[in-house]
Every structure is written in C-alpha cells, then in structure tokens.
Amino acid sequence: MNKPLKISSYDKINYDIEMYTKPEFVYIPLENKNGNTYKYLVKEGEYVYKGGVVAVTNDDFPVHSSVSGYVVCGSNKIISSGKKIKCVVIQNDFKEKYEKSKLKKKDISKYSKESFINDLRENGISGLGGADYPTFLKYGIDNIKCLIVNGVECEPFVSCDKAVMYNYAECILEAIDNILEIMKIPRAIIAVMSNDFKSIKMFNKYIKTYPNISLVFVDNAFPNGWERLVVRNTLGIEYDRYPSEKGIIVNNVSTIYAIYEMFKYNRPLTERVITITGPGVKKKRNVKVKIGALASEIINNLDGYRDIKNPLFIVGGPMMGKSVPTDDVVITKDVTSLLVISDNFEKNLPCIKCGKCTYVCPSNIMPVLIMNNIDNVDNLKKLECNKCIGCGLCSYICPSKIEVREFVNIAKEKVNHR
C-alpha cells in the first residue's frame, strides 16, 4: 500500500465538549447514507417518547426519537450523502419523557452474549466513526480474539473522538472491560494517534486496573484511522474483506462510549458529539447534540456564522466528507463534523496525467484511469473501483483540482447498479 500522507493543516486539538440538546424539531430521514431505507412506525399527530422507535430497516434495526413530542408533517432535508431525503419530523415538547421500559436499569452482570447482542440492536447502536454500520452485526461471530477500539481520528480539523476519549476515558475503559467479560474476549487494544497527548494521558491514568486492555500508538497521518490500517498497524494482521475473518472486532471509540451509556442507563443511542469548525463559524467546538437535529439550528443557536464569501458546508471531515450547498443538513449517527469554508477553489483544470492520484491511493487502484473510463462499465469493473474507501486523497493531491473521488463514486454507482 502507498504511504499514508502527513497533512499539515491540523488545527490545535480542541478537547472540550459543549452541549446543544434543545432543538425545536428533530428529523428522522427515511434513508441513510448507505442507501438503506426505513419504514415509518408512527403517524402524524402521534405522541413519541424519547427513546421510542420511530422507524426500522427491513431487517428490524431501529431508529429512535431523541426527544419527546408530537409527530408533525414530513419534510425533505439533506443527509450526509448529499441527497435530499423525506424525513419524519418530531416537534420537541422539551419534557424529555422516556418510555417506561427505558427507565428500568439493567444488571449487566446478568448479560449473556445473546442478550448483549440483542440490546445493541434494540438500542440502535451503530458505528459513530462515520460508517453507521449496526454494531450488533459485528459481534455475531464465535471466538473473538481481540477487540480493537479505534481512537485514530486522523481527519484534519475533526476532534470529536479525541474529546470523547479525553472526557470519558474512565467510562470507555469500563465499557471495554464489560464487553470483554460478556463476550469472553481475551484482550482489547485502544488505538490512538501518537500526538493525541491529552487522551493518552487520561487513558494512562486509569488503564493500570485493566490488565487485558492496552494502549497502542499510531502515526498521525491520514488515512491511518481506516479500519484496515488500524488492524495492520496495531496487530500486524491483514485480512481479505472483514477483520472478523481473523477473529478481530473494530469499534470506534465513540461507539464504545454509546455502549457505556447503554450499559449504565439502558438507553438507546440518541445523542452524539460532533465537531463544528472552519473559517465560516464564529467558534470552533465539539458539541453534544441530539441525533436528528438540523446543523443550521445548532450553529445559529450557538454563536452563528462568520460572514464569508460563497460558504460551503462539508459534512464529515474535509477528506472523506461530502460538500453540500446549504446547512439544512440532518445530524445523523454517522455525522462526525461540519466544516464551513469559503468555496473559492479553482476547479476542473485539464488532467495533466501526473499520476499523483494513483500514487497516493491507499486502496491501490487507479483513480485517473477510472475517471477516463467513466462510461465503460466493463472497464470500471476491471479497474476495481469498488475497492475505493472514499478517503478523498486523490482529490486532495490533484494539481488540476479535479474532484477525482466524485468520478470514482459515480463509477461505483454504475458498477453496483448495473
């Protein structure tokens, strides 16, 4: 694989977490960024409790309401894929009323493997590192040898995982210890970036009481947080499609914190920490928000925007995120950050065939050739465009400022929907 890239424009890391948990409305999109669709379980005018199930996927993975209140008419909003999707809308009554079943705590010493996996599903726990993959599916394998907790947050400007590690290190360790016990996993590794000194310091403060958990440092380069690289850089192990082939589970560190809250309060995943940053906002911050809140409402109710020319909103990090023209964006579980910048990039000069996009590609494919064969689906298959992980390095490195990754995305859609 090509060498990960040192990207120099890292902000000073922000470790504080602020709160904005009082949105007037929350929006539940009926499709997620991976294209999976949900079906409604509620009707207009119905009362919904906080933690109540509002929609489910075809295989019964639920989406919960993050507020209590009434279902009002539907609305179309932008999601992290950049698509405008129909949403169920719930008007917050600000009473934070939970369903009765969610007020009873569980005794986690009585958890079996099956009840743990079932609770992960019922509480809608999914990958908070950007994947939104249901976590219960990862634990459905036998003989797990190692749990890797991925704290390698390598996207420039994004600091929500670092803030979660710094503020909740003790809770994260407790949750990992409980998972090891329930799932009979012999050990866990927490992978963190070598320059994430404050998180490292907090883990070191508590980790001595957990002999089966160790801390491993990974070079601060992009895309070292990619699951495949995390497994390689911590255990030296390669796999074909999934780490589970080798008895390894990888969970994002914020997902582990969501599991901690599930253990502690018997409550579903309804809030997450996101980073709001960029020259277009008055204050760069990490903020805990309700899932389903609108980015526009969150930012306007904090300090608001700076006056910049042609504002462009990037949902997710600057490398792997998606640029959208407005802030009318729903914060779903996969949204790690919102970056507001000025859209003054020179775009789409001719390709000079420098080969840099191929050189940097961590998936060892040839983005320039994919781009040049965009209308030939047979060639796109041969060029293995599906191996792309969407890291954005090809666009970042391109001297002609071509959005090479977008061509590869189109190629993937063509190959997969043929």
- Rule CB under 6 A: is residue 229 a binding residue for ligand SF4? no
The Cα-based distances of 286 to 132, 205, 336 in angstroms read: 20, 23, 10
- Rule CB under 6 A: is residue 159 a binding residue for ligand SF4? no
Other C-beta atoms closer than 10 Å to the C-beta of 373 total: 19
CB of 91 to ligand SF4, least distance (A): 39
CB of 351 to ligand SF4, least distance (A): 3
Rounded Cα distance between 282 and 299, Å, is 9
How many CA within 13 A on the CB side of residue 4? 21
Beta carbon nearer to ligand SF4, 193 or 361? 361
- CA 296, 89, 30, 285 dihedral sign is positive
Span 376-395, contacts to ligand SF4 by CB under 6 A: 388-394
CB environment 155-169: b (16+ within 10 A), e (fewer): bbbbbbbbbbbbbbb
Query: Contacts with ligand SF4: how many residues (CB under 6 A)?
Result: 29
Q: Which of 131, 237, 351, 377 binds ligand SF4 (CB under 6 A)?
A: 351
Q: Does residue 252 contact residue 272 with C-beta atoms inside 8 Å?
A: no
- Rule CB under 6 A: is residue 125 a binding residue for ligand SF4? no
Beta carbon nearer to ligand SF4, 78 or 394? 394
Span 246-285, contacts to ligand SF4 by CB under 6 A: none
CB of 311 to ligand SF4, least distance (A): 24
**CA angle at 158 for the pair 406 and 75, rounded to the nearest 5°:** 65
Q: Which of 90, 149, 295, 361 binds ligand SF4 (CB under 6 A)?
A: 361
DSSP, residue by residue, 334-366: T--EEEEEE------PPP----HHHHH-TT---
> What tokens does 140 get?
């459905």
Beta carbon nearer to ligand SF4, 279 or 355? 355
- Rule CB under 6 A: is residue 5 a binding residue for ligand SF4? no
**CA angle at 124 for the pair 120 and 129, rounded to the nearest 5°:** 95
CB of 337 to ligand SF4, least distance (A): 18
Q: Which of 210, 400, 412, 414 binds ligand SF4 (CB under 6 A)?
A: 400
Residues in contact with ligand SF4 by CB under 6 A are 351-357, 360-363, 365, 367-368, 388-394, 397-400, 402, 404-405, 408
